[in-house]
Amino acid sequence: MSLQAIISPRNNLDTQPLLPKNAFDTHAHIFDPDLAPYAAGRAYTPEDAPLKKLIAFNQSLSMDPPYNTLVLVQPSPYENDCSVIIQGLQKLKDQNINAFGIAVLDLDNTTDAQLKEMHALGVRGIRLNFQADGKELSTDKLVASLRRTADRIRYLPGWMIQLFVPGWSWDNLHDTIIELPVTIIADHLGGMRGASKLPSDLQSTPTSQPGFESLLSLAKQSRVVVKISGLYRMSSHVTATYSDLQPILETFAQEIPEQLIWGSDWPHTGEGSNRMEKKLEVKEPFRIVDNPAILAQLHNWMGSDVYRKMLVENPRRLYQN
């Protein structure tokens, strides 16, 4: 699938369910080189996506815009320089828009006082991203990072670890996560792939893919919250709503309705696996995504009750500490 994803008509989907009052978008990025430069060692250079465009995007999806909450997630091109999301959180606060943040930090060079200052602005966790650069995952390295990060943030109220890993890795991480003192947020469906991205022997039963049962187990024990976001990352379908993910989303809705949150993943960046040969001086375009159609399909697959829990009740419980 090309980076500029082609979208198809909505095929009579019910487009009425957008973001209700008090909804949370728990995964959005700001890319603004005027606020802070990108890291020299980044995997890609994105197009610009400043805060004002994020606010406009959120309002375009909202039934009652003044009451939505944004969660700014540190994107990989900034590596561990959090100045952009810190400035973003302050600007949102100045505009009376509720907001939280998930940071990427160099814990060796971050003091407890700095963490408390970030907490006061709305930061509620640290992101570990093992997918953005397209490199292979080292489980040992990941386990060490999880334990070290959890130990450092365990005393901060409501702080979590947001984890972007391949789906199969939950089998390797299950026992470690059970013992961690903080909640884990599983980015982008926990890495669970639709049939179009699975080997032929798993395509008829995508819920049997490696890691799926471990992810469900962790969610049922309230150790992991699964973020419903980035559907286009987990499906090769060149459509608006990625229908091969339906069995996975329906299972999530049936089995772990209290452990689901939603994120737009705005402004819809590309794939880490496609960046190994990219030139940093060339800006990577964002995907074209039909967000209203995705929301409508999620409503259809999950039902009104789980849809509201995912958008309002679950994230409010998670981020309002």
In a domain, residue 179? The reply is: yes
Cα angle for residues 220, 223, 225 (degrees, 5° grid):
80
Phi and psi based region of residue 265 (left: phi greater than 0; alpha: psi -120 to 50; beta: remaining): left
Domain annotation covers residue 6: no
Would you say how long the chain is, in residues? 321
Task: Examine residue 143 and state whether it is found in any structural domain, yes or no.
Answer: yes
Distance (Å, rounded) from C-alpha 90 to C-alpha 94?
6
Order of strands across the sheet that contains 98-103: 24-28, 69-73, 98-103, 123-129, 160-164, 184-186, 224-228, 260-262
Q: Is residue 116 part of a domain?
A: yes
**pLDDT higher than 80, residue 13:** no
Give the model confidence (pLDDT) of 245-265 as tens digits: 999 999 999 999 999 999 999
Residue 104 to residues 77, 84, 86, Cα–Cα distance (Å): 11, 11, 11
Q: Domain for residue 177, yes or no?
A: yes
Q: How many domains does the chain have?
A: 1
pLDDT digits (tens, 9 = 90+) for 226-235: 999 999 999 9
Helix, strand, or coil (residue 163): strand
What pTM value is reported for the model?
0.91
The answer as to whether 253 is a domain residue is yes
Query: Per the domain annotation, does 2 fall within a domain?
Result: no
Q: Which range of residues forms the domain containing residue 312?
A: 24-320
CATH number, domain at 39? 3.20.20.140
User: Is 17 inside any structural domain?
Assistant: no
| 1 confidence band (pLDDT: 50, 70, 90) | very low
**Does the pLDDT of residue 4 top 90, yes or no?**
no
